[in-house]
């Protein structure tokens, strides 16, 4: 772990502490970063699930018989 000296808007930090339910600067920043990373991971999983579902739903598009029958 590395110590960092950063400027943080006090009003934004206070609002974040209320939302996150944290008490200290360190806990607030850590919780916020953890939530951002987790949200990105969930979003990727959601996109992956949608793409897999689309791929399953469109398998007929690569079947020559099905596509030939569709155009008749």
Per the domain annotation, does 5 fall within a domain? no
Per the domain annotation, does 69 fall within a domain? no
- DSSP class per residue in 10-66: HHHHHHHHHHHT--SHHHHHHHHHHHHHHHHHHHHHHHHHHHHHHHHHTGGGG-HHH
Per the domain annotation, does 71 fall within a domain? no
Q: What is the pLDDT of residue 6?
A: 92
Q: What is the pLDDT of residue 37?
A: 93
Domain range for 17 is: 11-56
Per the domain annotation, does 1 fall within a domain? no
pLDDT per position as a tens digit, 51-72: 888 888 888 878 888 888 888 8
Per the domain annotation, does 4 fall within a domain? no
Per the domain annotation, does 48 fall within a domain? yes
pLDDT per position as a tens digit, 20-54: 999 999 999 999 999 999 998 887 887 888 888 88
Per the domain annotation, does 21 fall within a domain? yes
Q: What is the pLDDT of residue 11?
A: 97
């Amino acid at each position: 772990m590395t110590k960092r000296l950063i400027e943080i808007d006090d009003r934004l930090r206070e609002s974040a502490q209320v939302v996150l339910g944290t008490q200290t600067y360190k806990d607030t920043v850590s919780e916020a970063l953890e939530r951002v990373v987790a949200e990105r991971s969930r979003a990727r999983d959601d996109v992956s699930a949608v793409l897999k579902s689309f791929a399953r739903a469109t398998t007929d598009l690569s079947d020559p018989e099905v596509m030939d029958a569709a155009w008749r």
